[in-house]
Amino acid sequence: MSAPILVFDLDGTLADTAGDLVGTLNLLLARDGLAPLPTTAARSMAGAGARALIQRGFAASGAPLPPDRVDSLFHEFLAHYRTRIAEETRLFPGAAAALERFAGAGYLLAVCTNKPEDLSILLLERLGVADRFAAICGRETFPFSKPDPRALTGTIAKARGDQGRAVMIGDSKTDVDTAKSAGVPVVAVDFGYTETPVAAFEPDLVISHFDELWEAIATLAALHPSACT
């Protein structure tokens, strides 16, 4: 029997990336003569990907963009972001300890994100935890991405995990919908980047700190005896 597996979203779940994402957005805004957006105000924009962040950021600054400009700025955004990917980004409190505890208990760990795969690997390397994961899967790893459930099931397969013994951990409607469509239990963190409280998307459980994840997985194991253990 394969080991149980935990599959994590990245931005807003494992790592607080808003500072570097919004910082990169502000470089583009400044070049157009627009005022920077404070990270606190733009934080909720950071969870839907770079294109959406660019669109929302320029619109919030009173300068909405045509689609072709979004496409050109997207490539510039990624180039700038790569140079500062971990200047302000940190793992959320308790995340490193939780990864260590679950790995020590025999769990497989994986990442399923819509962030580009190469940037996801680079970021996790800079944060010192890339080697914890049996698979790090990003937007172009498969021909589909979240909320398509095949992004999650493909990540589980790539990590050589068992879909019947998997749990997804995320911060957004996209993560919850992906897990539900795949038939995988989902734990949501409430400190991520969604504008709507994540509990409204009806995950199996919600946690407010990674210190709570061990107990949450134990609770899910009791609710889903064939999973999580």
Residue 215 exposure: Cα atoms within 13 Å on the Cβ side: 7
Residue 159 backbone phi and psi in degrees, to 5: -80, 0
Supply the pLDDT for residue 49: 83
- On the question of pLDDT at 62 being above 60, the answer is yes
In the listed set 60, 83, 106, which residue is the last one of a domain according to the structure? 83
List Cβ neighbours of 198 (8 Å cut-off, separation of 6 or more).
171, 172, 173, 176, 188, 189, 190, 192, 206
229 inside domain: no
* Segment 134-147, tens digit of pLDDT: 999 999 999 999 99
In the listed set 30, 50, 83, which residue is the last one of a domain according to the structure? 83
Query: Is residue 155 a contact partner of residue 137, using CB atoms and an 8 Å limit?
Result: yes
Identify whether residues 97 and 69 lie together within a single domain. Answer: no
Mean pLDDT of 17-29: 95
Q: What is the count of structural domains for the chain?
A: 2
Supply the pLDDT for residue 73: 95
Please, which residues bridge with residue 186 across strands? 168
Identify whether residues 190 and 104 lie together within a single domain. Answer: yes
In the listed set 38, 59, 83, which residue is the last one of a domain according to the structure? 83
* Segment 145-188, tens digit of pLDDT: 999 999 999 999 999 999 999 999 999 999 999 999 999 999 99
Nearest to 210 by CA among 189, 183, 186, 185: 189
- On the question of pLDDT at 46 being above 90, the answer is no
Identify whether residues 179 and 203 lie together within a single domain. Answer: yes
pTM listed for this prediction: 0.94
Identify whether residues 12 and 23 lie together within a single domain. Answer: no
Low-confidence winner among 41-50, 77-86, 124-133, 160-169 (lowest mean pLDDT)? 41-50
228 inside domain: no
Mean pLDDT of 68-89: 95
Name the pLDDT band for 104 (thresholds 50, 70, 90).
very high
Q: Residue 142's domain is classified under what CATH number?
A: 3.40.50.1000
Identify whether residues 71 and 106 lie together within a single domain. Answer: no
Identify whether residues 68 and 118 lie together within a single domain. Answer: no
Name the pLDDT band for 228 (thresholds 50, 70, 90).
low
Identify whether residues 73 and 26 lie together within a single domain. Answer: yes
Supply the pLDDT for residue 225: 65
**Domain span at 185:** 5-16+90-223
List Cβ neighbours of 178 (8 Å cut-off, separation of 6 or more).
112, 146, 147, 148, 149, 151, 152, 168, 170
Tell me the catalytic residues.
9
Q: Residue 61's domain is classified under what CATH number?
A: 1.10.150
- On the question of pLDDT at 1 being above 70, the answer is no
Residue percentage of the chain with pLDDT more than 90: 86
